[in-house]
Amino acid sequence: MKSALVVWGGWDGHEPKLGAELVAHLLGERGYSVTVRDTLDAYLDSSIMSVVDLIVPIWTMDTIGEEQLKGLLNAVKGGVGLAGWHGGMADSFRNSTEYQFMVGGQWVAHPGNIIDYRVNIIDHHDPITAGIPDFAMHSEQYYMHTDPSNQVLATTTFTGEHASWIAGTVMPVVWKRMYGQGRVFYSSLGHVRSDLDVPEAREILLRGMLWAAR
């Protein structure tokens, strides 16, 4: 049986507790043993970190201690998978550049806040996005600083309606990458829990988690 650690906290606006409950349900249905913790000290717990196959962080903003961060980074470098979404993974610890290096990107803006936009699948052969068509979202359209080494699976295009200077900019939405021996998956979809009721967004997240797991 594979095991997953879900760590939630930080800013309440992203509904981290509800997100953690959803992830525990999705992975539990796939036979995972899921541990849910609401403290970053989970990354110091050797009884978990030494055996876990997947870590799902749901923690927006805040800061992380040096030893807590080291526990997380070392686990992923050693082969534990990391998978997450939106600000729960890519706006977690703004001062921790090594964390951002691992994730492969960092949120910087969402022009217009909650808007309608399209997600375009650009890799139709990868198991995370195969068979999923382009789809609509009504949520925050994330503008991000991203790592060029990411393997991008889906993008979105900014119209310039809310920030004219970025008209036509194509931005990664879903990517995967490696950090040491660990697989890393990220999707910018999911400002609030209900956003993940969009079937395509939920399926991409589920497949991404399953792909990342050791």
pLDDT tens column, 85-132: 999 999 999 999 999 999 999 999 999 999 999 999 999 999 999 999
Within a 10 A sphere around the Cβ of 10, how many other Cβ atoms? 23
Residue % of the chain over a pLDDT of 70: 100
SS3 197: helix
Position 79 scores a pLDDT of 98
Position 71 scores a pLDDT of 98
- Chain center to CA of 198: 16
Instruction: Kindly indicate whether the domain formed by 3-212 is annotated with CATH number 3.40.50.880.
Output: yes
What number is the average pLDDT over the span 134-163? 98
What number is the average pLDDT over the span 7-25? 98
Rounded to whole angstroms, the Cα distance separating 109 from 99 reads 19
Write down the mean pLDDT value for the chain: 98
What number is the average pLDDT over the span 135-141? 98
Would you state the structure tokens that stand for residue 76, as one six-digit string? 């992923």
Return the domain boundaries, the chain.
Answer: 3-212
